[in-house]
Amino acid sequence: MSEFITLGEPLAVFASQDCDVPLSEAIHFQKFLAGAELNVAIGVARLGHTTQYISQVGEDAFGQFILNEINQHGVGSDYIETTATNPTGFYFKEKVSTGDPKVEYYRKGSAAAHLNSDYLKNVNLSQVKIAHLSGIMAAISEFGLKAVDELFDLLNQQGIQTTFDPNLRPALWSSEDVMVKTLNELAKKAVIVLPGVNEGKILVGTDDLEAIADFYLDQSTITQTVIVKNGSKGALVKVRGEQPYAVSAFKVERVVDTVGAGDGFAVGLISGLLEKLPLKSAVERACAIGARAVQYPGDNDGYPTPSELVEFLKTNEGV
């Protein structure tokens, strides 16, 4: 039983400790837990909410590492299958002083990419209030796409609120056209859609925030809210039938690692909604956790506990 659930591929990430050194030359690495949807589950659990994570790992060292880490983070693992047939995915990540780090994935044919969607019939959704899905699981394989699509249907049948982050990973798709068409079709099934402005340029063909929001509201009667993430400028929120409004970002003195910021945004939004905060306050929390995330190494190291969140909001200003 949990109030939040998500589906995705967990990964082991080897993060370089050699700053501004290409992966081909880096020597020192630190191992972390990763996976976009799992990052969200970890962040939501860290803020005191019950969670479950649906996935599959290999019966190997990385799979055991992931299971150990998930349990330590307090994320529910009732729906994580293991398989001896396929390995657990992993990747390497550069350390950079500015900009986004380069990553190299080793996830093709992974255990999660072979998750059988029939397994979803065993998942108890009776206590779930919010579910989060992303375009990454849909990108890794036909199995992954089917699982995301069918879980959306199950959630909508039971009237459970859903959030969807497109989370573009072009290298995982056969073509950009397939990626755009598939992700926009999945977005039709989400109550809340969370595109970034740069994703909007690809998925919608514009970087106009309101136009991006209107596209997703116009294409589906299920979608009720679109929140367009605009990086260091905050976010635009548009609810069906209401005027859009902007929410400011928080000042960041030093960016350590941008990976995990978008997942941190989802953590703030989802936890705020679970705590019945007004939507604007939940988006403000989302911006805060996204800002905190980029100041820490590792994909989810910067996600706060309740006391750390209170302290961050108290001592940091919006831009």
Output the DSSP codes for 262-316: HHHHHHHHHHHHHTT--HHHHHHHHHHHHHHHTTSSSSSTTPPPHHHHHHHHHH-
Assigned token pair, 284: 């403000």
Annotated domain spans of the chain: 4-315
Burial of 251 (0-12, 13-18, 19+ CB in 10 A): exposed
Cα–Cα distance measured from residue 230 to residue 146, given in angstroms and rounded to the nearest whole number: 30
CA-based nearest residue to 256, from 302, 187, 224? 302
Cα–Cα distance measured from residue 196 to residue 45, given in angstroms and rounded to the nearest whole number: 24
Cα–Cα distance measured from residue 141 to residue 139, given in angstroms and rounded to the nearest whole number: 6
Cα–Cα distance measured from residue 152 to residue 146, given in angstroms and rounded to the nearest whole number: 10
Alpha helices in 85-208 (DSSP H): 135-140, 142-157, 176-187, 197-203
Q: 69: which DSSP letter?
A: H
User: Would you say 8 and 132 are in contact if contact means Cβ atoms under 8 Å apart?
Assistant: no
Assigned token pair, 96: 């950079």
Cα–Cα distance measured from residue 158 to residue 175, given in angstroms and rounded to the nearest whole number: 34
Which one is catalytic: 165, 257, 263, 299?
Answer: 263
Whole-angstrom CA distances from 220 to 67, 183, 188 are 37, 13, 5
Amino acid occupying residue 175: S
* Tokens 């598939």 -> residue: 182
pLDDT at position 28: 97
User: Would you say 80 and 71 are in contact if contact means Cβ atoms under 8 Å apart?
Assistant: no
Q: List the CATH code of the domain at 4-315.
A: 3.40.1190.20
pLDDT in tens, the chain (319 residues): 799 999 999 999 999 999 999 999 999 999 989 999 999 999 999 999 999 999 999 999 999 999 999 999 999 999 999 999 999 999 999 998 888 889 899 999 999 999 999 999 999 999 999 999 999 999 999 999 999 999 999 999 999 999 999 999 998 999 999 999 999 999 999 999 999 999 999 999 999 999 999 999 999 999 999 999 998 899 999 999 999 999 999 888 777 766 678 999 999 999 999 999 999 999 999 999 999 988 776 678 889 999 999 999 988 866 6
CA-based nearest residue to 8, from 108, 135, 104? 135
Mapped onto helix, strand or coil, the DSSP state of residue 225 is strand
* Tokens 């990747």 -> residue: 91
* pTM of the predicted model as reported, rounded to 2 decimal places: 0.93
Q: What residues are paired with 106 via a beta bridge?
A: 90
Assigned token pair, 8: 């995705």
100 is an active site residue: no
User: Would you say 11 and 90 are in contact if contact means Cβ atoms under 8 Å apart?
Assistant: yes
CA-based nearest residue to 127, from 1, 7, 270? 1
Mapped onto helix, strand or coil, the DSSP state of residue 277 is coil
